[in-house]
Amino acid sequence: MPLELVTIPALSDNYTFLLHDSDSGDTACIDVPEAAPILSELSSRGWSLTDIWLTHHHHDHIGGVDDLLHKHDAKVTGARADRHRLPSLNREVGDGDAFEFGGERVEVLDVSGHTVGHIAFVVPDSGYAFTADSLMALGCGRLFEGSAEQMWESLQKLAALDPETLICSGHEYTQANAKFAITVDPDNDALKARIKRINSARDSNEPTVPSKLSEEVATNPFLRATDPAIQAHLDMIGAQPVDVFAEIRARKDRF
């Protein structure tokens, strides 16, 4: 039985996630945009929080930690590299580290690019990856601190995970990402079909997150810098993938 995953909308367009092991009762929250929706989900399920995992220091991912800790005695895990700008950490982790949660192994990947020090938490047995503002549904985070090289390398690590992995990313940006994606990959039938599904989900106010990695590989232009059709469309046939990625990211910034 995989760990139970609950997706919770927070603030205007963020997502936070609960991960729950029914045997031990252990419950982790991944990123804390604000406490209120998390507290009400916990109380309606009768769960108490044992763990908080933080992906990066932006306020919309850590702003509710103190309020959550007032109500729950949870252990906070975050990047050693970002300890100076994260809430006080009980466990500091870095690229390649692993720890145990609910009887499963949790692997930490450095996925710098959006920020330097951004990490992802991967739970291979249950098939979840908490990617926040690195790999997102049909997108990737804006490069505030890192270089295109760093983000491309980060995305390659995530793309190498099991294709069935659910990508639990940090924002409901998918519809806007779709409008851009089709401009660089206009002949991709899988993308066109996905956009239809995204639009109907959003019409009924359903989340488009999490998304399956195999679907991102097939449709997310930021993972597709080696794709001949995209390279041709950008007039970059045979260019280095990282340069194609940088061009796609630059176009998205101007879009």
Q: What residues line the site for Fe ion (CB under 5 A)?
A: 60, 133, 170
* Minimum distance of Fe ion from residue 173's CB (angstroms): 9
* Minimum distance of Fe ion from residue 66's CB (angstroms): 18
Residue (47 or 222) nearer to Fe ion, CB: 222
**Partner from Fe ion, Zn ion, none contacting 110, C-beta within 5 to 8 A by type:** none
User: Exposed, middle or buried: residue 1 (CB in 10 Å: 0-12, 13-18, 19+)?
Assistant: exposed
Interaction of residue 118 with Zn ion, rule CB under 5 A = no
* Minimum distance of Zn ion from residue 194's CB (angstroms): 24
User: Exposed, middle or buried: residue 111 (CB in 10 Å: 0-12, 13-18, 19+)?
Assistant: buried
What distances in angstroms separate CA 116 from CA 74, 129, 149, 196, one per listed residue? 26, 19, 12, 34
Interaction of residue 252 with Zn ion, rule CB under 5 A = no
Interaction of residue 171 with Zn ion, rule CB under 5 A = no
* Residue 219 CA, distance from chain mean position: 16
Residue (54 or 184) nearer to Zn ion, CB: 54
Interaction of residue 172 with Zn ion, rule CB under 5 A = no
Interaction of residue 57 with Zn ion, rule CB under 5 A = no
Contact assessment for residue 161 and residue 214, using Cβ atoms and an 8 Å cutoff? no
**Partner from Zn ion, Fe ion, none contacting 216, C-beta within 5 to 8 A by type:** none
d(CA 130, CA 122): 6
d(CA 66, CA 59): 12
Interaction of residue 224 with Zn ion, rule CB under 5 A = no
Q: Which amino acid is at 175?
A: Q
Residue (133 or 216) nearer to Zn ion, CB: 133
Chain residues that interact with Zn ion, rule: CB under 5 A: 58, 133
